[in-house]
Amino acid sequence: MSTKIQKIGVLTSGGDSPGMNAAIRSVVRTCAYHKINCVGIYRGYQGMIEGDFKPMDARSVNNIINKGGTVLKSARCMDFRTKEGRSAAHKQLKAEGIDAFVVIGGDGSFTGAMVFNQEYDFPVIGIPGTIDNDIFGTTFTLGFDTALNTVVEVIDKIRDTASSHNRLFFVEVMGRDVGHIALNAGVGAGAEEILIPEEDLGLERLVESLKRSKESGKSSSIVIVAEGDKTGKNVFELKEYVEKHLPIYDVRVSVLGHMQRGGSPSCYDRVLASRMGVKAVEALLEGKTSLMVGIQDNQLILTPLEMAIKGHTKIDKELIRVSDIMTT
């Protein structure tokens, strides 16, 4: 089968993440290197269904390695979850002569790819592009490292003003189901407490801890809160709770929001994207399919999409302990 692949499509799907452009560039150039045609598919599966295609040669991806976002645009696509939608997509791909595709996105995008592969025996490879780092089969997802740097840089700024006024800040970061950003950025930013979806710290313990922190002479406190933290309270409710139960603090709130998805990718994410793009294309050329490229122990590995989707990443217990020790 591998000998038959002449034209590879590439798309970005779901929420965007820094490094997606670097991955697109890598897919395109690896195709060029192997004298294979490459076609950009715009707006994720929606563009696939609508035939929103554009041929891409090596020069078409000049100067995008350092750009945030995705030049191919991205979208969440309901239609691709239906048989009709996938059938339309398949027709468009056939009409364009596309033999295989690489999809850069998260687990929703991979589910679509896997089902499509099953239905049409169509070769697909996934690249994990999401800032949440919540994909099984890779230690790091594309964009996670950049998002962490964005978050700590912003919290460094918030710390400046927090210290100047001896204030307590609740800072909400992304992570509805997983606390990887909160935990890593929390340790990196020297947060006093970190609230994540995986663990219930308990509001009383939070108040106790903040009290201790104040008594120990700290000039400011930053509490990082993942969107989906286990206390069930959002940052505004947490502010109210603490103001009521610990009136010694002047409390402020900051919700970082979508800035976490943007920005020029870090060197790590650019290199990872470049490596993954090569691996994805070459896996297709070797006749492999329905796999996701991941990184483990600094080596690229391939994991069945099915496992990538069903598996769960675990929060790092050692890092939680480090976080506790750091707030001594």
Tokens of 12: 């970005």
Binding mask 287-316 for a copy of itself (x = CB under 8 A): ---------xxx-x----------------
- Binding-residue pattern over the window 76 to 115 for a copy of itself, x denoting contact by CB under 8 A: ----------------------------------------
Which residues ranging from 227 to 266 are in contact with a copy of itself (CB under 8 A)? 252-255, 257-259, 261-264, 266
State which of positions 202-221 bind a copy of itself (CB under 8 A).
216-219
Annotated catalytic sites, by residue? 132
DSSP 249: -
Nearest by Cα to 192 from 229, 220, 160: 220
Determine whether the annotation assigns residue 131 to a binding site: yes
- Strand ranges of the sheet holding 37-41, from the earlier edge strand across to the other edge: 53-55, 37-41, 7-12, 100-105, 124-128, 291-296, 299-304
Asked if 271 touches a copy of itself (CB under 8 A), the answer is: yes
252 is in an annotated binding site: yes
Residues in contact with 200: Cβ distance below 8 Å, sequence separation at least 6, in sequence order = 230, 231
Q: Is 59 annotated as a binding residue?
A: no
For a copy of itself, the closer CB: 217 or 232: 217
Binding a copy of itself (rule: CB under 8 A), the pick from 51, 190, 304, 311 is 190
* 148-167 binders of a copy of itself (CB under 8 A): 148-154, 156-166
Smallest distance, Å, CB 261 to a copy of itself? Answer: 4
Cβ–Cβ under 8 Å, residues 5 and 282? no
- Residues with Cβ within 8 Å of residue 261, at least 6 apart in sequence: 15, 16, 17, 18, 68, 131, 143, 147, 174
Give the single-character DSSP code of 266. Answer: P
Q: Which of residues 30-69 bind a copy of itself (CB under 8 A)?
A: 30, 32-33, 58-59, 62-63, 65-69
Q: d(Cα 30, Cα 38) in Å, to the nearest integer?
A: 9
On whether 290 is known to bind a ligand per the annotation, the reply is no
Q: Which residues are annotated as a binding site for ATP?
A: 15, 76-77, 106-109
